[in-house]
Amino acid sequence: METLSVTVETKQMTSIDEALSHLRVDGFCVLDGVIPEDEVDAVRRSVEETVTAVGRKTMVQGAKTCKGLIAHDQSLAPYLADDRMMSIAEALLGPHVRISMTTAAINYPGNERGTWHADWPFNQTKAGHIRMPYPDAVMHLTTIWMLSPFTEESGGTFIVPGSHRCSTNPTGGNGVDPLKPYPTEMHATGEAGSVLVFDSRLWHAVAPNRSDRPRVGVPVRYAPWWLNLNVLMPGSNERTRIMDETGLGENEVGPIPPDVYATLPENVKPLLRHWVRDQ
Ligand SMILES: O=C(O)CCC(=O)C(=O)O
C-alpha cells in the first residue's frame, strides 16, 4: 500500500497519522509538495494577476486580498481535493466535507504585523460566531496554500502552537494583546507548493514580509457538512438577519456562477457545489 507523507516544520517525512497527531496536539501541520514544483509558479502568477485586477486592501497595511477567489480564478482548483488534504479533512470533519472560503492573501514587502485571531466561526468580532467559551471540538479547518516560499523573512504566518485547545482567543478580549508578540509564537514555514493546515481555533496573525518579493498565500477553509455557511453568502436571509441583529460585519464569499463551476475538476465539484448561484 502506498504511504502518504507530509512534512512538519522540521522537514521530516511523516505519515497521515502523525500529521493528525500533530494537528490534535499542536493545532497545525504542513503538507509539502501538494502543488508540484513545476506547476506552482503558474498558479502564483495567476493569483497575483487576479489580486491586481480585482483584489482589495485589507485592515493590515501592505496586504491585499481577493475573497471568493475561486469564482475569479480557477488556477488552484486542480489541487483542492488533494488525497492527503482530503484524508486529513475527512478524518477530522467526517464525510461530505465542503469548502467554505477561498481567499487570496498577498503580503507585499514591508507589510505590517496583523492582529492575533482565530478564524470564522471563532472570531468574536464577526456577526456569525460561536460564542466563547466554545467547546473543545474540531469544527472548521483553515489551510494556507503557499504559492511562494513561507520563511521567517517573507512572513510565514505567525501561529501559537497549542492555542486551538483554548476556549477563547484574542478577538474576544481574553487578556492577550492582539498586536503584541506572544511568547510562544512561531512562523509557519514551507516551500512554495506546501499547505499549512490548522484547526480554525488556532491563534494566528499576518507576519511582516521583510523580503523583497510578495508573499503569496491562499487561505482555503474546509467545513463539515453540518456547519451552516449561509451567513457568508451575500443576500442570504441568515446573513441579513444575523448582521442586523448583532450590528457586526461578516466575511463575504460571493457565489460561483454555473459556467465557472462547470469548468472545475470533477473531484473538486462536490466541495464547492453548495456555493453555485446565478449572479
Ligand atoms: O496571510 C497570512 O499569513 C495569514 C492570513 C490570515 O490571518 C487569515 O486569512 O485569517
Summarised one tens digit per residue, pLDDT across range 113-140 is 999 999 999 999 999 999 999 999 999 9
pLDDT at 8: 45
Q: Say how far apart CA 38 and CA 41 lie, in whole Å.
A: 7
Alpha carbon of 86 to ligand 1 centroid (Å): 21
- Residue 220 pLDDT > 90: yes
Burial class of residue 188, CB neighbours in 10 A (0-12, 13-18, 19+): buried
Report whether 65 contacts 103 (CB < 8 A): yes
- Ligand 1, CB within 6 Å, residue ranges: 105, 107, 114, 119, 157, 204, 206, 217, 219
What secondary structure letter does DSSP report for 113? P
Buried b (16+ CB within 10 A) or exposed e, 90-124: eebbeeebbbbbbbbbbbeeebebbebbbbbbbbb
- Percentage, residues of the chain above pLDDT 90: 94
- Average pLDDT over the chain, rounded to an integer: 95
Q: What share of the chain has pLDDT > 70, as a percent?
A: 95
| Segment 59-82 mean pLDDT | 98
Pocket test for ligand 1, best of 59, 157, 232 (most atoms within 8 A of CB): 157
pLDDT digits (tens, 9 = 90+) for 2-13: 444 444 444 444
User: If you ran DSSP here, which 8-state letter would residue 96 be given?
Assistant: S
Cα separation, 166 vs 162, in Å, equals: 8
Q: Convert the pLDDT of each residue in 137-188 to its tens digit.
A: 999 999 999 999 999 999 999 999 999 999 999 999 999 999 999 999 999 9
Confidence band of 279 (pLDDT split at 50, 70, 90): confident
DSSP-based three-state secondary structure for 87: helix
pLDDT tens across 188-204, in order?
999 999 999 999 999 99
- The domain made up of 5-271 is a member of CATH 3.40.50.2300: no
Residue 27 corresponds to which amino acid? G
Residue spans of the domains in the chain: they are: 5-271
**Band (14; pLDDT cuts 50, 70, 90):** low
In angstroms, rounded to a whole number, what is the distance separating the alpha carbons of residues 81 and 270?
10
| C-alpha distance from residue 10 to each of 14, 30, 202 (Å) | 10, 10, 20
Instruction: Confirm whether pTM is higher than 0.85.
Output: yes
Instruction: Give the list of residues 6+ apart from residue 224 with CB closer than 8 angstroms, or none.
Output: 93, 94, 96, 97, 98, 139, 140
Cα 99 to averaged position of ligand 1 atoms, centre (Å)? 17
Separation CA 113–CA 154 (nearest Å): 12
